[in-house]
């Protein structure tokens, strides 16, 4: 799997949630300004994001995932369960705020 950098989702100074305030085109330099909420996937670690992508590419097959990752089926199942717990917690946090 690739070593992706984690996109920051919280402020390093106060830990509040970050929001994107500007998007720009590198070709024509068009800029769009506003308050854009970051998707929940940004809050996941690089390895968690990579796991999710691999899971989708494997059509949700844990058997295929265990082959791709080189881990036992139970380990992959545990990894998925941990990710489900984390995503559920993030969803609950978002609905509270």
- Residue 13 included in any domain: no
What are the backbone angles phi and psi of residue 4, rounded to the nearest 5°? -85, 145
In angstroms, rounded to a whole number, what is the distance separating the alpha carbons of residues 63 and 87? 22
Nearest to 62 by CA among 43, 46, 84: 84
**Residues in CB range of 22: below 8 A, 6 or more apart:** 31, 32, 33
In a domain, 10, yes or no: no
Distances (CA, A) of 68 to 21, 35, 51, 62, 81: 38, 39, 10, 10, 18
User: Is 50 contained in some domain?
Assistant: yes
Q: What is the tally of structural domains in the chain?
A: 1
pLDDT in tens, 47-66: 899 999 999 999 999 999 99
Residue 55 lies in a domain: yes
Mean pLDDT of the chain: 87
| Residue 2 included in any domain | no
Residue 1 has pLDDT above 60, yes or no: no
Whether 56 contacts 10, CB under 8 Å: no
CATH number of domain containing 89:
1.10.10
Evaluate whether 20 touches 53 at the Cβ level (below 8 Å): no
56 is in which domain, residue-wise?
39-96
Q: Per the domain annotation, does 61 fall within a domain?
A: yes
Q: With a threshold of 0.85, does the pTM exceed it?
A: no
């Amino acid at each position: 799997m690739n070593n992706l950098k984690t996109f920051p989702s919280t402020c390093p100074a106060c830990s509040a949630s970050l929001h994107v305030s500007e998007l720009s085109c590198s070709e024509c330099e068009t800029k769009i300004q506003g308050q854009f909420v970051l998707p929940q996937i940004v809050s996941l670690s690089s390895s968690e994001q990579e796991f999710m992508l691999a899971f989708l590419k494997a059509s949700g097959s844990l058997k295929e995932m265990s082959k791709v990752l080189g881990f036992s089926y139970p380990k992959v199942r545990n990894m998925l369960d941990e990710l489900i717990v984390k995503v559920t917690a993030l969803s609950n946090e978002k609905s509270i705020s």
